Amino acid sequence: MFCNGCGQVMAVGQSVCGRCGRASQAAGLAPIMPLALVEGRVNLLAYGWLTYAALEAMMGGAAFIFARAFMDMHMNHGWGGPFWMGPHLPYFLMKVAWVAVLVRVTLAALSGYGLLKKTAWGRWVAIVTAVLSLLHPVLGFIMAIWTLVVLLNRMNAAGYDAMAEG
């Protein structure tokens, strides 16, 4: 190992250069947890996101089938009036909600896949998905907190980066 400032040869555990007094690059690095422990945590989190994606897809699909059947039975299609009171607004809002469910399911599935494969982008996609899931009641909030605790921990992050690099 060499000093970044003057190029002096340094011992492996040496934190300060004897010639120029500059701190070595290794001194600021986070200690790395055993990779098997980090890998187990990340794999469990990945399976959690994949399960969350499947549950969201099933619950979202069932909700939209029920909502569509309910609206078709109870909506008067001949009624006029302003757009916000018209017959087409509930269908428009249902399409917006459907897109939101598809985005949530896609992000959760990508998070699970990226974490399971230990890709470099998987950690960041999972963190973004977790932040967006903070607004989703109960299960989304639990997944978000779990993800942020596991992936923003400095030692876990260093271990994940080591696994992602190869």
d(CA 28, CA 97): 46
How many C-alpha atoms does 145 have within 13 Å on its Cβ side? 7
d(CA 67, CA 93): 11
d(CA 166, CA 46): 18
- 99 and 46, same domain (yes or no): yes
- 108 and 78, same domain (yes or no): yes
CA 14 remoteness from chain centre: 37
Six-digit token string for 96: 């917006």
For residue range 87-111, list pLDDT tens digits in order.
667 777 888 899 999 999 999 999 9
Which residue has 């701190």 as its token pair? 23
The residue range of the domain holding 2 is 1-30
CA 84 remoteness from chain centre: 35
Number of domains the chain is built from: 2
Amino acid at 34: P
Query: What local confidence, expressed as pLDDT, does residue 92 receive?
Result: 79
74's CB contacts (< 8 A; 6+ apart) are none
For residue range 104-159, list pLDDT tens digits in order.
999 999 999 999 999 999 999 999 999 999 998 899 999 999 999 999 988 888 88
CA angle 104, 111, 53 (to 5 degrees): 45
- 102 and 37, same domain (yes or no): yes
Collapsed DSSP state (helix, strand, coil) of residue 2? strand
- 13 and 60, same domain (yes or no): no
pTM beyond 0.75: the answer is no
- 46 and 80, same domain (yes or no): yes
Farthest CA pair distance, the chain: 87
CA 41 remoteness from chain centre: 14
- 65 and 98, same domain (yes or no): yes
52 vs 82 pLDDT, higher one: 52
Q: Which of 64, 59, 54, 146 is nearest to 105 (CA)?
A: 54
User: How much of the chain, in percent, has pLDDT values that exceed 70?
Assistant: 78
- 82 and 124, same domain (yes or no): yes
81 vs 72 pLDDT, higher one: 72
* Whether pLDDT at 165 is above 50: yes
